Chains A and B, each alone.
Chain A
């Protein structure tokens, strides 16, 4: 995995609460057996209408959204299914961080394992970001710090281990494989066997 240390971008705002994984990527696009290519389906049914035409006023479709890597979303982003296709689609599209007041557990886990940074901020900061789409933000993963328009600094929580893996570009499977001896001992010593 490529290390992820800093992100500098303008924001796109999707103010809706409870954006679920079916909205992030509808199930009918999950039949691919690859990891790449899901960006086309990102927010598909919000980006395109029934006839497949672009919905011009959807935030991702606006000209100013081009090149933005940070999404600010309503509370409880990524709820619903465990599909890792959701962060894959976001990354494939070019979104590298998501900011909200709450991010669903499984989505957050999946995001971190793929280098998409989930950032939970306080409600005041969030409300301000929702009201000011397109502002410049800087994310420093190592310092767990979000800087808004160059001057307002907000610290966010990020699991120490996940952060270490992100900034070093280490994948977690490697860490688990180093535990194989302990796993074997655990299997042998258990009082019951599954």
Chain B
């Protein structure tokens, strides 16, 4: 009998089933890499303490601190001033928990520290075919390598710490075929915003997305990470891209990638991780990359997107939620976003804080100044990204243009560490969420690519990067 073909997701899923799903019980799914950070773990460790349980596989657990950590430049990390007593306590608690349970912590002194979704790939810990979880919804980022990676809650963090497994119902699959190639000045961020605009912020609920097609195959790993990172913004469980030579080249010789003959065996195994031609997806959509222009959001969720030069749409004005979003953003239907004065520009976050992102922003900014009245913050995703950027002089470009160059962390993406957008201020941000109050109380967020963010910094208004010489 001929087997029906399998999707990439199904191959990875099947490879990790400890006990199969039944109508009465979910599957027991094995986790290969558990990433943890300071905000979503203290209560999970407390549970282990209460029950006297050890961490089952500290060797498959990797910890860092990124969310509530300061990003102001200092000479020694010891001098870093953490904002707020409770954030400081949370950080101290993380250090203690990792020590108590024997988990490696890439802490303040570590050269490998950074945003959890930046350092996993950077270290080569993120690999094709792995199951990767973290108490953080943007864990979907790691799917760019053909891993099955998704965010979990704190109770589940406790489950994984104690058993290295999760109870899961099998999600459905959604193929997103991207045809054609992106035009000059248009990048991965624009594409994923367009996809979310097309399928909606709940378009992926219950599904694992697989991004396919020529535009995806020709993308570098950092661009693929940007795409998979925002799968959750379409409500998806996870996003994946089949691994290929681009993936293997990226991973080769990373600190934690396989070495020698193990590398060859791993690559042979990874090459199998593609959806079979006869595989069936539960749903499929397609989008043409060719016709896309730079995209920006105009509302308070990532599905409210429009081309950078297009007016704010007016078709949904009868819907109270839509009107409420526009009122919050203080934008008017029928008018372009460039009508609004920009106060802050943020380049950073696990969506767009890698070297290529910073390079793209710097290329636009070079030879220009940040407009008067605009504050621009550039926050690299990790210590390694920061060093690499400095070694090619990107920091100089940012500083000379009048931007602030910071230490790595989540920073203004969620404003937990004191880097916030002021009440009522308009921020063009390369992060992933434009929710009300995400970047600070009353902050108005416009999501954009690093190029669009840099162009907007130069103009002081939302601007098309293709118009900056």
Residue ranges of A at the interface with B (Cβ–Cβ < 8 Å) = 15-18, 20, 22-23, 26-28, 30-35, 45, 50, 74-76, 79-84, 102, 104-106, 109-110, 113-114, 159-161, 164, 172-173, 175-177, 179-180, 182-183, 186-187, 192, 194
> Among the listed A16, A33, A102, A114, which residue makes an inter-chain contact with B46, where contact means beta carbons less than 8 Å apart?
A33
Q: Does B42 count as interface, using CB distance less than 8 angstroms?
A: yes
Q: Does B318 count as interface, using CB distance less than 8 angstroms?
A: no
Within B33-54, the residues touching A (CB, 8 Å) are 33, 39-40, 42-43, 46-47
Contact between A177 and B435, CB atoms less than 8 A apart: no
Contact between B137 and A31, CB atoms less than 8 A apart: no
Contact between A84 and B437, CB atoms less than 8 A apart: no
* Alpha-carbon distance between A50 and B423 when the two chains are bound, in angstroms: 9
Q: Does B269 count as interface, using CB distance less than 8 angstroms?
A: yes
Note all chain B residues with C-beta closer than 8 A to A26: 437, 441
- What sequence of 0s and 1s flags, for each residue 213-238 of chain B, a beta carbon within 8 Å of any chain A beta carbon? 00000000000000000001001010
Looking at B5-13, B85-93, B453-461, the stretch in contact with chain A turns out to be B85-93
Closest residue of A by beta carbon distance from B167: A172
Note all chain A residues with C-beta closer than 8 A to B32: 194
Q: Tell me whether A183 and B163 are in contact in the complex, defined as CB-CB below 8 angstroms, given that A23-B435, A160-B23 are known contacts.
A: yes
Looking at B100-108, B116-124, B152-160, the stretch in contact with chain A turns out to be B152-160
* 29 pairs, A vs B, C-beta closer than 8 Å: A16-B321, A17-B319, A17-B321, A18-B201, A20-B301, A26-B437, A28-B415, A31-B68, A31-B84, A32-B86, A50-B442, A76-B202, A79-B201, A79-B301, A81-B136, A81-B151, A82-B153, A104-B235, A105-B235, A110-B154, A110-B156, A173-B159, A175-B25, A175-B167, A176-B167, A182-B19, A183-B30, A183-B165, A186-B18
B142 to chain A, nearest CB (A): 13
* Alpha-carbon distance between A32 and B25 when the two chains are bound, in angstroms: 33
Q: Tell me whether A33 and B235 are in contact in the complex, defined as CB-CB below 8 angstroms, given that A22-B436, A75-B202, A194-B33 are known contacts.
A: no
Contact between B151 and A31, CB atoms less than 8 A apart: no
Instruction: Known pairs A16-B324, A84-B153; list 18 more (Cβ under 8 Å).
Output: A20-B301, A31-B87, A31-B90, A32-B90, A35-B46, A50-B441, A79-B301, A81-B433, A82-B151, A84-B155, A102-B202, A110-B156, A160-B23, A176-B162, A176-B165, A179-B28, A183-B28, A187-B30
* Interface footprint category on B: 35 or more
* Alpha-carbon distance between A118 and B444 when the two chains are bound, in angstroms: 30
